[in-house]
Structure 1
Amino acid sequence: MAPSARRGSSPRSRSAIPQLSWRDPQPAPIVLVSGPEEVCAERAIAGVRDYLRAEDASLEVSDLRADDYEAGTLLARTSPSLFGEPRLVRVRGVEKCSDAFLSEALAYLEAPQESATVVLRHTGASVRGKKLLDAIRSGTGGGVEIACPAVKRESDRYDFAAGEFSTARRRIAPGALRALVSAFADDLTELAAACQQLIADEPGDITEQVVARYYGGRVEASAFTVADTAIAGRYGESLIALRHALASGADPVPLVAAVASKLRTMARVAGSREPGPALAARLGLKDWQVDRARRDLAGWNEAALGTAIQAAARADEEVKGGSRDPVFALERLVTVVATRAPYGS
């Protein structure tokens, strides 16, 4: 049951075992699901279960905790049953595993049970279980690894959401996708749920109007709405969006970060006449980020952009404890960006 996996797609370049995408998991005697992103990990584990169940509906599924482990349980759950049904054992908490589990799991790697798949979930929150992970990655046990790194950057969230619709073979307009990502910038679980709701409920293409109908309140209060309206020079709208975001419980730190991120991208793109794809590749950006930054630069000059970037750096320091009034720091930043002039001028 060895999968035809892609190699070299994981940051774990020293691993001797196949590296699989969490969107396309396949079973093996040992499946290591590593990394902190729980949404992706849950998808991967469910995908392994669905793959095995499609092969044999009599699949027996059981769950263990590596941190609350009774000696002998792993071997008991993986041993052949009377009727020979395939078995899937899902083990969570490997980053907190007990000594008993660690010892038995290492022994199990030397002789995995036939027709059994053991999924080991390690979040990477600690180095506990490193000896086991190293053994799996060396090839002992015939395992595969599904890495689930943290999704933090806007471009990563954009790729995540785009993948949701691509996997479902559904079309979503670029503006709608960006609005959706901005609305759920702080919670990947909610973003995933929002994507799945649109996929399930909307029969046609997903447009900006559809996203606004479902999540208009979230979109209006998002950090990137504040950034977009300020950078576009719509001063009144940007202040309203800022106050709405703060009233909705938005943290000042990511609000400043959203503005600063867009300004930095604009500065990197400014003045270049390279074709968009070539510039994106050279700067490590997505094509859409370059296109968006070029549109955002309309009406800006070098002096105004420099002033705005300095204002963003000052606001970042102030909202992280350098000022007693982070709201004023935000309002001053929005004013500088939207008016494209020093504060008070």
Structure 2
Amino acid sequence: MASAFGKILLITGNAEFLAERTRAKAVKVVTSEQPDCEVATTTASGLQPGELAGLTSPSLFSDASALVLTELQDLPDVAQAELLAYVAAPSPDIAVVLVHSGGQKGKGLLDKLRKAAVVSEVKVEQPKYERDYARWVFTEVRELGARIDEQAAAYLVAAVGQDLRALAGAADQLVANLEQGAHISTSLVQQYFGGRADVRGYEIADATIDGRIDVALEQARWAESAKVAPVLITTALATGLRSLAKLSGAPDGLRDNELAAHIGAPPFKIRAMRQQLRSWDAAGLAAAISAVAQADLDVKGGAADPAFAVERMVLAVAARRRR
């Protein structure tokens, strides 16, 4: 394994949890290589002229040292020049980790850093669509030494939500109870996480879109008694309807995996969505989405009876289906 000293690790992207985890792993590698290494952590915005030079100078108390510099996008211009001067001639006894939160701020500095041979970059972007979260879970489970199929990964995302820290913890919990290389099925995920509130949100959404009003209302009332936040239900229904609208307007001739990429949904959902779409037209979808938007405003605005707002939404959406 190549030494971390004399090198610069650049962590970029808007996934805060992944950035934290990557930074922690980098520091662990550094301290494993040099147990007596002094690690200094500071934010870029507060650096004064000349301070960076001190932080990247050899330590008086150990043979090696490390600097973790966060919020790189806020590094002052003077300190930027000092950092680039250090990158041009790094110390072989110092390891540097730079963390940039993504976006355009500080892009000029990033472009210059990326050109340096001593800089290696790790990008940690937040997944965008539901299918991207499922793929992230798939990769996470594989790195933990197990396997999970696409449907089980998507169910875990629906059950736990789209917080990467929570998803990583859930994946770790599942794998910890299995033998190395074991397969995680949907039924196993349901066994551990089937009662989570977020799943109810998607179940209510599917029942409403399918026109199963009795089921949708029953589960909405269960959600109220279980203290499920109404916004989880409005969000799930909005996501389902918008996905149907995208499917409705998709170009002809696309295969399921291409449609999934176009819509932002897992491929295994496409068949069920096609079935749902048979009961919807463009006008009905537009009116239903409008009803959900109003309900979302009601529950977020502290409506006197959020549970009533959710039930009214369910009835309004179901009424827009074609008979």
Q: Is the shorter-chain TM-score for this pair beyond 0.5, marking a shared fold? A: yes
Q: Which residue of 2 is the match for residue 275 of structure 1?
A: 255
Structure 2 residue 181 is the aligned partner of structure 1 residue 207: no
Report which stretch shifted further, 97-106 or 186-195: 97-106
Structure 2 residue 312 is the aligned partner of structure 1 residue 332: yes
Q: Which residue of 1 is the match for residue 167 of structure 2?
A: 191
Structure 2 residue 271 is the aligned partner of structure 1 residue 294: yes
Q: Which residue of 1 is the match for residue 145 of structure 2?
A: 169
Matched residues, percent identical?
A: 29
Q: Which residue of 2 is the match for residue 63 of structure 1?
A: 40
Structure-2-length-normalised TM-score = 0.76
Q: 2:9 is matched by which residue type in structure 1?
A: V
Q: How does 1:80-119 map to 2 (within 5 A)?
A: 80=58, 85-97=63-75, 101-102=79-80, 104-119=82-97
Hey, what's the Cα distance between the residues in 2 that align with 1:89 and 1:311?
53
Hey, what's the Cα distance between the residues in 2 that align with 1:61 and 1:205?
42
Q: How many angstroms does 1:164 deviate by?
A: 0.7
Q: How many angstroms does 1:154 deviate by?
A: 1.6
Q: How does 1:31-46 map to 2 (within 5 A)?
A: 31-46=9-24
SS for the counterpart of 2:135 is helix
Q: Which residue of 2 is the match for residue 11 of structure 1?
A: none
Q: Which residue of 2 is the match for residue 20 of structure 1?
A: none
Q: 1:311 is matched by which residue type in structure 2?
A: A
Q: 1:295 is matched by which residue type in structure 2?
A: A
Q: How many angstroms does 1:332 deviate by?
A: 3.0
Q: Which residue of 2 is the match for residue 156 of structure 1?
A: 132
**Deviation string for 1:273-307 (max 9, x for gaps)?**
653234445x2646x33x31322443653546752
SS for the counterpart of 1:113 is coil
Q: Which residue of 1 is the match for residue 204 of structure 2?
A: 226
Alpha-carbon spacing, 1:84–1:201, altered in 2? closer, same or farther (3 Å)? same
Hey, what's the Cα distance between the residues in 2 that align with 1:221 and 1:285?
19
Alpha-carbon spacing, 1:304–1:99, altered in 2? closer, same or farther (3 Å)? closer
Q: How many angstroms does 1:119 deviate by?
A: 0.9
Structure 1 residues without counterparts, runs of 5 or longer: 4-25
Q: How many angstroms does 1:50 deviate by?
A: 4.6
Q: 1:143 is matched by which residue type in structure 2?
A: V
Hey, what's the Cα distance between the residues in 2 that align with 1:178 and 1:316?
25
Hey, what's the Cα distance between the residues in 1 that align with 2:223 and 2:128?
20
Q: Which residue of 1 is the match for residue 292 of structure 2?
A: 315
Hey, what's the Cα distance between the residues in 2 that align with 1:36 and 1:175?
27
Alpha-carbon spacing, 1:98–1:299, altered in 2? closer, same or farther (3 Å)? closer
Hey, what's the Cα distance between the residues in 1 that align with 2:236 and 2:194?
19
Alpha-carbon spacing, 1:159–1:65, altered in 2? closer, same or farther (3 Å)? same
SS for the counterpart of 1:217 is coil
Alpha-carbon spacing, 1:220–1:133, altered in 2? closer, same or farther (3 Å)? closer
Contact 1:256 1:315 in 2 (8 A): yes
More helix as a share of residues: 2
Hey, what's the Cα distance between the residues in 2 that align with 1:332 and 1:244?
16
Hey, what's the Cα distance between the residues in 2 that align with 1:167 and 1:338?
42
Q: 1:194 is matched by which residue type in structure 2?
A: A
Contact 2:288 2:320 in 1 (8 A): no
Q: How many angstroms does 1:207 deviate by?
A: 2.6
SS for the counterpart of 2:184 is coil
SS for the counterpart of 1:312 is helix
Structure-1-length-normalised TM-score = 0.72
**Deviation string for 1:112-168 (max 9, x for gaps)?**
2124321111224783x555434324x247323322233343222222212111222
Q: How many angstroms does 1:329 deviate by?
A: 4.2
Q: 2:234 is matched by which residue type in structure 1?
A: V
Aligned length, in residue pairs: 315
- Let me know the Cα RMSD of the aligned residues: 3.9
Contact 1:29 1:117 in 2 (8 A): yes
Structure 2 residues without counterparts, runs of 5 or longer: none
